[in-house]
């Protein structure tokens, strides 16, 4: 079993694309259910959502707002799961409910433990 | 009441107290001496009371005999000089052996039993030995009763207890109460031991109903002792007590006259003990004061909802949430299976089957029993296959009977 990180990307800037509080509640419930299903398989290692606000630091001490000033796919959160192979990890990640949203994506990468 | 009736009763309630008090004097590693003196006091009682009749205060009589025997033993001195003297000198009350007072005040009995509970639950002692020692030393069970509870023979239990006592000496476990910095960690093993004891009674393979029930109530009694003592009256201890009260409320309903398990759905609600349910509610409220949500809190929450027979959306939604949190705290296959059952109650069987298949707990009989249940009415053929798989893995006659009944029900339907 290896650990895989599941990066969740979605559009956090386009105003029309943001969910209403009621929608958000439903999305979060679906998301929690997906996480709980992984926990029940004893394959959940950890993870968290990320604030929409942030800073990006570039060479020369240039600091800008956002990580997502120009792109429509911002990192919204991540989870780390245990899986026997990349295929299996992808299979688990497929159930992530953010994939119900147009334009969203989930990226799966094996954690190789090296810097 | 004659002496043949009163002595077994006193043995159950007083043996543990006398052993605990004597152990506090002799040291935890001299447990056999404490046990010998205590057994001897009971033997003397049986002989004397049989001839002269029962004394006005039988308990005090036993205490006095035990105290005198203990003093004589100490005076005889061989072991005293070599082994016990250094230990006794440490305590201020002890001087010459003549001055030693073996005190059976309620306060000292409580204190001794509390120390005993912490010592027996010491992490150095293996869990199985902890339960055995608890039953013997904390609950005053006879060796044959312990053997029956474990479905084994007296020799095995005697060997197990002997090894446990060896471990105690090897690890140098003392009867000192842990200090404030240690108490949380040590209390957590005490709670685990109590919980094991309770489960031994609740899920025991033995079909001796009254014995199983007594085991459960002994666990409740020990937990209550913790709650009556300020430093151990923690939110976790209260949650564990609530959990045990809720479960114990169904003790009379979950076994039929032949000792077979009556499934929850088929239980006669009028046999549920409402006093224990409200007692559980009281301690669950007190448990809510703590900042930490322990597994006992979550299990008590689930156990509370199980005391509500009616299937409501709220009930199953809450139970599902508690299982989710429980799994986050500590994964266990049993919790994962129970979560899936709750999931089926909230989201329907088909979704739950998907979730269940992902658990992949092959070789687990409860896994197949759950799948059998979930497939029933969705795909009866698969339900049968899974129930048969569970039957092949079943470990007790009661389990086999329950599964066979479900299989027969399905076959009849077809």
B358 contacts in A (CB within 8 Å)?
37, 40-41
pLDDT in the model for residue A49: 87
Find the CB nearest B331 among A32, A37, A42.
A42
Q: Range(s) for CATH 1.25.40.10 in chain B?
A: 341-414
Under the banding of pLDDT at 50, 70 and 90, the label for residue B221 is very high
pLDDT, position B254 = 86
Q: CA-to-CA distance for B228 and B102, rounded, in angstroms?
A: 24
- Residue B342, pLDDT score: 96
Each residue's pLDDT tens digit, B241-290: 999 999 999 998 988 877 777 888 889 999 999 999 999 999 999 999 87
pLDDT of residue A94: 95
Please provide the average confidence, as pLDDT, over all residues in chain B.
88
Q: Which residue has the higher pLDDT, B379 or A115?
A: B379
ipTM over 0.90: no
Residue of B nearest to A32 (CA): B324
The first and second tokens of residue B98, run together, are 């003549």
On whether the CB atoms of residues A40 and B355 are closer than 8 A, the answer is yes
Question: What pTM did the predictor assign?
Answer: 0.81
> Is B147 part of the contact surface with chain A (CB cutoff 8 Å)?
no
Q: Which has the minimum average pLDDT: B1-10, B94-103, B118-127, B220-229?
A: B94-103
**Is the Cβ–Cβ distance between B89 and B65 less than 8 Å?**
no
**Considering only CA atoms, which of B360, B374, B412, B408 is closest in space to residue B388?**
B408
User: CA of B314 to nearest chain A CA: how many angstroms apart?
Assistant: 16
Put simply, whether A40 touches B (Cβ < 8 Å) is yes
User: Would you state the CATH architecture of domain B341-414?
Assistant: Alpha Horseshoe (1.25)
Contact A39 B360 (CB under 8 A): no
Interval B152-207: pLDDT, tens: 889 999 998 888 888 888 888 888 888 888 888 889 889 988 998 898 888 776 66
For residue A15, name the pLDDT band (cuts at 50, 70, 90).
confident
List of domains in chain A: 2-110 (3.30.70.1060)
What was the pLDDT predicted at B374? 96
* pLDDT at B92 (0 to 100): 45
pLDDT tens digits, B307-329: 998 999 999 999 999 999 999 99
Count of helices and strands (H, E) across chain A: 2, 6
* pLDDT of amino acid B83: 62
Task: Name residue, tokens 């979704």.
Answer: B351
């Amino acid at each position: 079993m290896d650990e895989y990180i599941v990066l969740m990307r979605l559009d956090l800037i386009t105003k029309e694309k943001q969910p209403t509080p009621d929608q958000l509640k439903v999305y979060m419930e679906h998301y929690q259910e997906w996480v709980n299903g992984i926990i029940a398989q004893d394959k959940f290692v950890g993870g968290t959502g990320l604030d929409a606000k942030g800073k990006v630091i570039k060479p020369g001490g240039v600091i800008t707002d956002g990580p997502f000033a120009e792109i429509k796919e911002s990192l919204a959160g991540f989870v780390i799961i245990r899986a026997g192979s990349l295929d299996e990890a992808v299979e688990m990640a497929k159930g992530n409910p953010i994939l119900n949203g147009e334009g969203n994506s989930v990226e799966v990468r094996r954690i190789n433990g090296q810097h | 009441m004659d002496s043949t009736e009163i002595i077994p009763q006193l043995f159950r309630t007083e043996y543990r107290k006398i052993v605990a008090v004597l152990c506090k004097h002799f040291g935890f590693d001299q447990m056999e001496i404490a046990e010998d003196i205590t057994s001897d006091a009971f033997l003397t009682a049986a002989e004397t009371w049989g001839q002269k009749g029962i004394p006005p205060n039988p308990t005090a009589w036993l205490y006095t005999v035990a105290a005198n025997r203990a003093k004589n033993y100490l005076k005889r001195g061989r072991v005293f000089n070599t082994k016990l003297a250094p230990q006794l000198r440490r305590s201020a009350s002890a001087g010459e052996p003549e001055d030693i007072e073996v005190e059976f005040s309620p306060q000292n009995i409580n204190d001794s039993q509390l120390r005993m509970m912490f010592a027996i639950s010491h992490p150095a002692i293996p869990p199985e030995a902890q339960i055995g020692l608890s039953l013997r030393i904390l609950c005053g069970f006879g060796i044959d009763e312990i053997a029956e509870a474990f479905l084994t023979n007296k020799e095995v239990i005697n060997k197990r207890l002997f090894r446990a006592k060896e471990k105690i000496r090897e690890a140098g476990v003392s009867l000192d109460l842990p200090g404030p910095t240690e108490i949380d960690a040590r209390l957590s093993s005490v709670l685990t031991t109590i919980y094991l004891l309770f489960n031994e009674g609740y899920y025991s393979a033995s079909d001796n109903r009254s014995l199983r029930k007594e085991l459960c109530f002994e666990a409740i009694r020990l937990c209550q002792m913790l709650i009556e003592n300020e430093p151990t009256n923690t939110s976790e201890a209260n949650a564990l007590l609530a959990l045990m009260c809720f479960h114990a409320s169904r003790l009379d309903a979950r076994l039929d006259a032949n000792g077979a398990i009556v499934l929850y759905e088929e239980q006669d609600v009028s046999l549920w003990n409402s006093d224990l349910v409200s007692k559980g509610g009281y301690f669950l409220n007190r448990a809510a004061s703590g900042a930490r949500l322990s597994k006992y809190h979550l299990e008590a929450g689930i156990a509370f909802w199980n005391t509500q027979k009616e299937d409501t959306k709220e009930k199953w939604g809450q139970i599902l949430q508690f299982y989710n949190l429980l799994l986050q705290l500590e994964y266990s296959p049993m919790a994962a299976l129970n979560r899936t059952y709750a999931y089926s109650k909230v989201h329907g069987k088909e979704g739950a089957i998907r979730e269940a298949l992902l658990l992949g707990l092959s070789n687990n009989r409860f896994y197949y029993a759950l799948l059998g249940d979930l497939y029933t009415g969705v795909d009866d053929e698969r339900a049968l296959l899974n129930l048969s798989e569970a039957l092949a893995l079943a470990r007790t006659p009661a389990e086999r009977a329950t599964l066979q009944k479900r299989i027969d029900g399905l076959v009849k339907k077809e």
